[in-house]
Amino acid sequence: MIGLYHHGLSVQEAAYLSRAMAQTGKMITTWKKPIYDKHSIGGVPGDKTSMLLVPVVAAAGLTIPKTSSRAITAPAGTADRMECLCPVSLDINEIKRVIEKTNGCLVWGGALDLAPADDIFIEIEYPLSIDPLLLPSVMSKKKAIGANYLVIDIPTGKGVKVKTIAEAQELGSKFIHLGKKLGISVECVSTLGDQPVGYGIGPALEAREVLRTLLEGRGPADLIDKVSNLASVLFDFAGFKDGKQKALDIIKSGRAGKKLTEIIEAQGGNPKIKAEGIPIGPESVEIKSRKSGQVLWINNRVITQTAREAGAPKDKEAGILLHKKTNDNVKKGETLFEIYAKKKHKLKRALKFLRTQDVMKIGKPHEMVLTEIPKEEEKEEFFILER
């Protein structure tokens, strides 16, 4: 491991390792081919893209068996969000049945014995923060699931792991080359990672936003744009024309919502579930702006940590609901965001954490100062209204 840290891996070494890792567990070979898949490097709070992408792609007739993780350091993983709607711990045979019925699934990958060597590596890697295994880690799972076409989302920006387009391009190229050696066609997209995707952060708030977007036609523009762009990459692989428009049509017409409902039902959930029917934390506060201006930035790291202090992802009902995002105008006294929690003491813990942090910067667009170091910082740009 230490050797890897110093010397890294060549693409060829990564390919051998990915194959070997894939072969430590089950390999899926019997689903209807070709298999489409998506992976995100992650790090952006509120990124519920997969939960919309799978129904869109499945509704277009492509096979997309999506296995996901639970959150470790994030406020929610795809498995945590999806679990608000239906069971996600399916075994391979159950997944196959779901896929046969609906073309897609959204399940937890942890119990599937896909490339289990990877899970062991992750445990060692994490304390060491070692990166060279990121590529084999991702690709061994994709190889095990039998993916032929893969789109990788590389969120890029200040509050995430990949900070610049140049870094995204470097990482993306490696995935593409590694994919080639493994027989997987990979396309990578660098996406805006500077602020949360959509407005809801935390399993239940995110699941609600997914349902609102697909079932009620009330979705955030950034989320819809992200989903339709990633879908269009998979549609390109499939030879479909004008993929982005096709994805938008599938969302707008309600076909994606219908497909999500089918998947929920096939995985054992209630197909009649409505956004409002998903419980969110009974304890909440609104955070209001102390001044008028524009939202100049939102700190992903602080949003993530606040949602976690409030109880997410363990408490599915906990999280943050943004009212304002970057570039939005704000009037003094307007709500910037709400915090939801299941337990009052966790809400208090989140508020205590917030008092020492800068979540959002409200100012004028030409204001140049990001922060002064280390003068007493003005932490009190908003005031809190308990209710």
d(CA 14, CA 30): 26
Give the pairing of strands 283-289 and 382-386.
antiparallel
From residue 154 to residue 183, what is the string marking binding to its own copies with x (rule CB under 8 A)?
A: x-xxxx---xxx--xx--xx--x-------
Say which DSSP state 150 is in.
E
DSSP string covering 38-53: EEE----TT--HHHHH
- Cα distance between the two ends of the chain: 51
- In this complex, which beta carbon is closest to its own copies, that of residue 20 or of residue 165? 165
Tell me if the bond preceding 87 is cis, omega within 30° of 0.
no
- 222 near its own copies (CB under 8 A): yes
Name the one range near its own copies by CB under 8 A: 73-81, 100-108, 208-216, 219-227.
219-227
Residue with tokens 């009052």: 344
Ordered strands of the 360-363 beta sheet: 329-330, 293-298, 360-363
**Which residues form the catalytic set?**
131
362-381 residues in contact with its own copies (CB under 8 A) are 364-375
From residue 307 to residue 346, what is the string marking binding to its own copies with x (rule CB under 8 A)?
A: --------------------x-------------------
Crossing angle of helices 243-252 and 255-266, in 10° steps, is 70
Give min distance, CB of 185 to its own copies, in A.
12
Site size for its own copies, by CB under 8 A? Answer: 42
- 253 near its own copies (CB under 8 A): no
d(CA 21, CA 27): 11
224-243 residues in contact with its own copies (CB under 8 A) are 224-226, 229, 233
Hey, what are 337's tokens? Answer: 């965001």
346-365 residues in contact with its own copies (CB under 8 A) are 364-365
- 284 near its own copies (CB under 8 A): no
Task: Kindly list the residues in this chain that would bind its own copies in the complex (CB under 8 A).
Answer: 154, 156-159, 163-165, 168-169, 172-173, 176, 187-192, 197, 220-222, 224-226, 229, 233, 299, 327, 364-375
